[in-house]
């Protein structure tokens, strides 16, 4: 039986076991996918012991993504650019490899629902944390030429823009308003709007171009206040759940040997677990 895991701290709310479990059952694979709580101080030891643990690999989530990147043998291109690892597997000779599939998940979600996003050139990103980093990498890979990062803490948006070079500019949260008229894609990567948390005021989406696409990485609630505001201004939107579903695909394929599909049935199944 092939085994995979997700580890983080805390990990009990992770939806990854729900979605990988769905695929294992659907595809009739004799395998398992379990959540392993590992505290930050124990994580390096956990990684060292992995090769003799019987796992094919697994997912890494908060707060271990950056530590994983620093402690694996071979990072893939996305992991190097993002500086974080969310997927682990072993090469044929037993080397521990790490990838980052968050950027892939972000792009694949937009590809599924609004493929015209790839025609865009300019993007406005709210937030400058780990998720923002993966999304900026995805946008650069997709050929975006101007990416503005607006963040509550200016220092973090400047650091991120410097990391990715001249395609990016940075500003404080309020700087978003100067970029909203020209952005083809507008992304919220912050937790503002999650579970009713609305202490910051979003830039006025009424100023956006009529064909601008608006997306949010928060999926609790599925229709966030940001997406709702976009809809009220007749803008097309994509919710954040698909990023979670699509980022899981490459790992599952590596561990269990079959590339699974992101279907409506999977989406419904995960939504039911979310609402439980």
Which residues are the active-site residues? 65
Question: Interface with ligand ATR includes 199 (CB under 6 A)?
Answer: yes
Query: Kindly report the CA angle at 59 between 72 and 159, in degrees rounded to 5?
Result: 65
**Pick from 7, 86, 132, 175: which binds ligand ATR (CB under 6 A)?**
132
**Could you tell me which stretch among 6-14, 66-74, 97-105, 146-154 binds ligand ATR (CB under 6 A)?**
146-154
**Pick from 99, 130, 240, 260: which binds ligand ATR (CB under 6 A)?**
130
Smallest distance, ligand ATR to C-beta of residue 150, A = 9
**Pick from 192, 229, 235, 238: which binds ligand ATR (CB under 6 A)?**
192
Question: Interface with ligand ATR includes 153 (CB under 6 A)?
Answer: yes
**Could you tell me which stretch among 4-12, 25-33, 72-80, 123-131 binds ligand ATR (CB under 6 A)?**
123-131
Question: Interface with ligand ATR includes 49 (CB under 6 A)?
Answer: no
**Pick from 60, 79, 131, 249: which binds ligand ATR (CB under 6 A)?**
131
**What are residue 26's phi and psi, to 5 degrees?**
-60, -40
Pairing of strands 74-75, 55-60: unpaired
Whole-number Å distance between alpha carbons of 47 and 239: 33
* Total residues at interface with ligand ATR (CB under 6 A): 16
Decide whether 29 or 81 has the Cβ nearer to ligand ATR: 81
**Could you tell me which stretch among 147-155, 204-212, 220-228, 236-244 binds ligand ATR (CB under 6 A)?**
147-155
**Could you tell me which stretch among 32-40, 122-130, 208-216, 218-226 binds ligand ATR (CB under 6 A)?**
122-130
Smallest distance, ligand ATR to C-beta of residue 28, A = 35
Q: What is the 3-state secondary structure (H, E, C) of the chain?
A: CEEEEEEECCCCCCCHHHHHHHHHHHCCCCEEEEEEECCHHHHHHHHHHHHHCCEEEEEECCCCHHHHHHHCCEECHHHHHHCCCCEEEECCCCCEEEECCHHHHHHHHHHHHCHHHHHCCEEEEECCCHHHHHHHHHHHHCCCCEEEEEECCHHHHHHHHHHHCCCEEEEEHHHHHHCCCCCCEEEECCCCCHHHCCCCCCCCHHHCCCCCEEEECCCCCCCCHHHHHHHHCCCEEECCHHHHHHHCHHHHHHHHCCCCCCCHHHHHHHHHHHHC
Please, which of residues 206-235 interact with ligand ATR by CB under 6 A? Answer: none
Question: Interface with ligand ATR includes 189 (CB under 6 A)?
Answer: yes
Smallest distance, ligand ATR to C-beta of residue 234, A = 26
Pairing of strands 185-188, 213-216: parallel
Decide whether 50 or 78 has the Cβ nearer to ligand ATR: 78
Residue of minimal CB distance from ligand ATR? 129
Rule CB under 6 A: which residues touch ligand ATR? 127-132, 151-153, 156, 189-192, 199-200
């Amino acid at each position: 039986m092939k085994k995979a895991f997700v580890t983080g701290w805390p990990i009990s709310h992770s939806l990854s076991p729900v979605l990988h479990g769905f695929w294992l059952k659907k595809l009739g694979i004799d395998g398992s996918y379990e959540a392993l709580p590992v505290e930050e101080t124990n994580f390096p030891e956990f990684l060292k012991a992995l090769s003799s643990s019987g796992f094919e690999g697994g997912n890494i989530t908060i707060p271990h993504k950056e530590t994983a990147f620093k402690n694996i043998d071979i990072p893939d291109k996305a992991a190097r650019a993002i500086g974080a690892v969310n997927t682990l597997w072993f090469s044929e000779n037993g080397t521990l490899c790490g990838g980052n599939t968050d950027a892939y998940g972000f792009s694949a979600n937009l590809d599924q629902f609004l493929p015209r996003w790839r025609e865009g050139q300019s993007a406005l990103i709210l937030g400058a944390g780990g998720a923002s980093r993966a999304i900026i990498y995805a946008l650069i890979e997709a050929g975006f030429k101007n990416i503005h990062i607006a963040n509550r803490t200016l220092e973090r948006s400047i650091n991120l823009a410097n990391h990715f070079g001249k395609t990016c500019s940075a500003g404080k949260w309020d700087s978003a308003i100067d970029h909203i008229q020209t952005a083809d894609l507008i992304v919220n990567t912050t937790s503002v709007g999650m579970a009713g948390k609305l202490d910051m005021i979003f830039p006025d989406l009424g100023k956006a171009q009529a064909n601008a696409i608006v997306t949010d990485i928060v999926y609790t609630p599925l229709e966030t206040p940001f997406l709702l505001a976009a809809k009220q201004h007749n803008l097309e939107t994509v919710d954040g759940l698909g990023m979670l579903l699509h980022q899981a695909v490459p790992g599952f394929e590596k561990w269990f040997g079959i590339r699974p599909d992101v279907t409506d049935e999977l989406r419904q199944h995960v939504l039911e677990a979310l609402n439980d």
